[in-house]
A and B are shown apart, each in its own frame.
Chain A
């Protein structure tokens, strides 16, 4: 079976192109908000190109200030992108088959949608890791294009605060939540996360602390639930 082929790269690229429409608004929003926060096009493109992580950039832009909040921005990326750690672990059956630059370079292109697409590939019996690279690069080109268009629009049209376009950021996250929902077991952790975040924000704590407080409160509760369920029921095989 192929582990890193040109054909796999092409299949990933095609998969990314197929969801272009679903990806584009997020890049537009990031471009528009970057412009509204006073970032130049060059700064916006360097940030988007090197970070290539929409939700993290969204959080960073919410807390953006002049001079740039270096520590807060770094910390926010660390916290928001922590979700990528279990993604990499979930891809281990395929990633373990490659090494060296292919492994570490491919991991730089891991994004939520690419992850989801490759999980589907793995379930279909294909483990060609070049798929992740092709999908990531395809999404990156779309991302940079839409960020550029968004930045130009944002600079051309002066958006007042409360303009409906700003709801696109919230709408994007809400819509992404739907496929992440796994069932009723997510209910308590999500509610706890939301309450903790609102409480932290009500205490006057700025970003990223409400996100941090909510994420770890919710995930902690979820883990505690899982451990209790595991203790109550005979443990299933760890491969599940």
Chain B
């Protein structure tokens, strides 16, 4: 059960940054009315963050990844069950690798 100093510092930075986002957002938005443009941007950030994380990963992946991504999306759209969608995606990659 080792706990390195550099790792601990990184974790404290992560925890502090995350709490600032959780609490600071409410604190700032409550105290001041930010410009309309900033408010509109904050509304769009959640989806854009996930897309920005996924796009390079998908661009790097091959056809197996793209097929599995479509299966994951389709299962989530139809069944609205995260666990099922994730399992379907991983299962698809598994099956395609086994076939290839």
Contact = CB atoms under 8 A, between A and B. Distances in A.
B82 A59 contact: no
9 contacts: A22-B83, A23-B82, A42-B3, A70-B6, A75-B17, A171-B86, A171-B90, A174-B73, A210-B52
Interface stretch (A2-10, A45-53, A120-128): A45-53
A170 B54 contact: yes
Interface in A143-202: 162, 164-165, 167-168, 170-182, 186, 189-190, 193-198, 200-201
Contacts of B57: 170
Most buried by A among B1, B50, B52, B69: B52
Interface string A36-57: 0001111100110011110111
B53 to A, nearest CB: 5
Interface residues of B, number: 76
B18 A197 contact: no
A174 B16 contact: no
B49 interface: yes
Given A170-B58, A170-B89, A175-B72, A82 B21 contact: yes
B22 A81 contact: yes
Contact of B73 (A71, A178, A210, A212): A178
A69 B10 contact: yes
Contact of B19 (A40, A108, A162): A108
Given A85-B25, A89-B26, A91-B26, A177 B16 contact: no
